[in-house]
Amino acid sequence: MRWLRDERGAGSILVVAILAAVIGLAALAIPLYSVLVTKRATEGAADAAALAAADVAVGRAPGVICDVAARVAEANAAVLTDCHPDGLVVTVRVERQAAGFAIGAIASAGPPETRP
């Protein structure tokens, strides 16, 4: 019965429990971080695709508006899922996959508005 009152080794069990909790939190945080990084990269791809398409719309670059947007999105490891030219303003939507999630972003670009 004396061994039931002996507290030697209790610190080791506490260290193992804390270590398991830290590893568990890291296992949850790393995929979340990769999704956040992919979200920022997808937003950048949408911005680049919209800017390139707007350059075509205003006549600064040759090509077809949505084809240029698709090529720029692919160059940024994204897929163009939607493209809406509205005069000189172009709105695009791109997507990427990360950790089993479809990450999307929308961007618009065009000349600045002129005020009368």
Helix (H, G, I), strand (E, B) or coil at 33: helix
18 located within any domain? yes
Integer Cα distance of 54 and 92 in angstroms: 10
Sheet strand arrangement including 101-109? 79-86, 89-98, 101-109
Residue 32 pLDDT class (50, 70, 90 cuts): confident
Q: Is residue 64 part of a domain?
A: yes
Total domains in the chain come to 1
What are the pLDDT digits (tens) for 66-112? Answer: 999 999 999 999 999 999 999 899 999 999 998 888 999 999 999 88
16 is a domain residue: yes
DSSP 64-107: -HHHHHHHHHHHTT-EEEEEEEETTEEEEEEEEEETTEEEEEEE
Does residue 114 sit within a domain?
no
Whether 116 is in a domain gets the answer: no
